[in-house]
Amino acid sequence: MPDPIVLKGAAASDIGRRRKHNEDAILVREDLGLYAVADGAGGHNSGEVASALALRSMENYFGATIRKTHDLPEVDKLGIPSGARRLSSAVHKANRDIIDVSKSRPEHKGMGTTVVALSFSPRSGMIHVAHVGDSRCYRLRGGHLELLTQDHSLLTDVIEQRPELDDSVMERLPKNVVTRALGLELDLRVALRTYAVATGDRYLLCSDGMSGPVPTETIAALLLQPDPPEALVAQLVLAANDAGGPDNIGVAVVDCMAGPTRAVPHYVPPPPPAIYEMARQANASSEPDLLILGIEEFDLLSLVDTASDDLLRALEQLVDKK
């Protein structure tokens, strides 16, 4: 059993210097081990409705499922952390709630929001990171700042799927297109990672109103200060405004005050024998060492279709104009 995790967090949301409305929302629930930042978008101030609704929905889901977590193992027999599934379920629930409101209220049609969230599992000493869109999570450990999330942006998708494009084409791509967000469609893909926690870890959640205008070196220098989370949040917001404050600013800082002394990867048990037997019987003739989903019975394309696919198809027209 790992040492108990003791957390201290703080968060703030600021309108910035150029926006008329603040569409960023923040969540700090130390009692639930849940922290989140959401960056909304949509006409008629619907962005602020979407971001606030997303975090309220996640908060309610965590509150309603807290008793259930006591009866579940930290890691199930398939090697999946129960806390990670819980966090992903909370994000999916928020997505459904936003879509329901968007459909029932015409003034909120088309609203959406990004989200990045942390969930701590005290029993196992693990942290789960979920995100949709370009809101980010950083970790400061041992004086080193790491980015734990990868933006769901058009540019990222192009690099992953069309890396051969010329720089002249890449330069013409819009830099502010997000390819995943809550509220777009029910078929949502949530990026989810699990990490081991160590005493002294410091985590930063932020919207692109922070990560965009403020250089990473400045963010790292501020987080290296020995100040408590409340003071750091204020300094980070000030830095974003000093950099022009071009967008709303959502920031949360979480310190691991006590817990495991070392970050040891969580134990992942092997799949139960039944899984091996099913795989062996399904491939008795060839017995391959690696099963690639999509080569035989499965249609991989139907499983990995994302909101970015339509955008990538539209790139064909742009490439033809080279």
> Does residue 49 sit within a domain?
yes
Q: What is the pLDDT of residue 304?
A: 40
Q: Which residues pair with 258 in a beta bridge?
A: 6
- Asked if residue 187 is part of any domain, the answer here is yes
Structural domain including 90 reads 6-320
Tens digit of each residue's pLDDT (9 = 90 or more) over 131-164? 999 999 999 999 999 999 999 988 888 888 888 8
Is residue 1 assigned to a domain? Answer: no
| CATH code: domain of residue 64 | 3.60.40.10
DSSP 283: T
Residue 123 in contact with residue 2, Cβ under 8 Å?
yes
Q: Is residue 220 part of a domain?
A: yes
Please report, for residues 277, 288, 291, 295, the alpha-carbon distance to residue 284 in angstroms, rounded to integers and kept in the order given: 10, 9, 12, 16
In this predicted structure, what is the pLDDT of residue 300?
36
* Integer CA distances (angstroms), 180 to 86, 233, 257, 264, in order: 20, 27, 33, 31
How many whole angstroms from its chain centre is CA 8? 20
Count of structural domains, the chain: 1
Residue 71 Cα distances to 17, 65, 76, 165, 205, angstroms = 48, 11, 12, 51, 30
pLDDT in tens, 60-88: 999 999 888 877 877 877 778 889 999 99
Residue 107 DSSP one-character state: G
Predicted local distance difference test score (pLDDT) of residue 122 = 79
Indicate whether 299 belongs to any domain.
Answer: yes
Q: Are 256 and 196 in contact (CB under 8 A)?
A: no
At 276 the pLDDT is 53
Question: What are the helix and strand counts (H, E) for the chain?
Answer: 10, 10
Whole-model pTM? 0.83
Measured on CA atoms in the order 230, 209, 26, 261, is the torsion positive or negative? negative
How far apart, in Å, are the Cα atoms of 274 and each of 268, 287, 289?
A: 17, 16, 17
As a whole number of angstroms, the distance between CA 95 and CA 50 comes to 9
- Residue 109 in any domain: the answer is yes
Task: Report which residue type is found at 272.
Answer: P
Low-confidence ranges of the chain (pLDDT < 50): 294-307
